[in-house]
Amino acid sequence: TRKELIAKIERWIDHDKDHPICWLNGPAGSGKSAVAQTIAEHCNDNRRLAASFFFFRGSGYRSKFERFIPTLAYQLSLSVPATEPFIRRVLQSEPAITHQSRSYQFQKLMIEP
């Protein structure tokens, strides 16, 4: 059931440091987004969520991949305040960074800070 899956993922979050990625897959309409949203809320409630982003098919600009990394960087700067000066410095020194490759953006806005 969904409750069992959520409990399993919560245990993974708390205990499995050897496998840093949880891949949730299934057919359309099977509840993946609802489970992911519940997990994100749980992590946020426990002050363990650095950032989140949900793509929704058909929602226009909100689900464009171009917004993914900048949105995560912004959320990271809020949830981990020590990263904010680093992210701000990158944005000030490279104002066109959103036109760079996603891997470059990820490196500069997420990994380095």
Q: Give tens-digit pLDDT for 20-59.
A: 788 889 898 888 989 999 999 999 998 888 888 887 776 6
pLDDT at 63: 66
- Residue 44 sits at the vertex; the CA angle it makes with 9 and 66, to the nearest 5 degrees, is 90
Q: Domain count for the chain, please give it.
A: 2
Domain of 40, in residue numbers? 2-46
Whether 107 is covered by a domain: the verdict is yes
Residue 7 has pLDDT above 90, yes or no: yes
Same domain? 41 vs 65: no
Greatest Cα-to-Cα distance within the chain, rounded to the nearest angstrom: 49
List, for residues 91-109, the tens digit of each pLDDT value: 999 999 989 999 999 999 9
Same domain? 39 vs 65: no
Q: What is the distance, to the nearest Å, from the Cα of residue 82 to the centroid of all Cα atoms in its chain?
A: 18
Same domain? 69 vs 102: yes
For residue 41, give both structure tokens: 């809320």
Whether 56 is covered by a domain: the verdict is no
Whether 53 is covered by a domain: the verdict is no
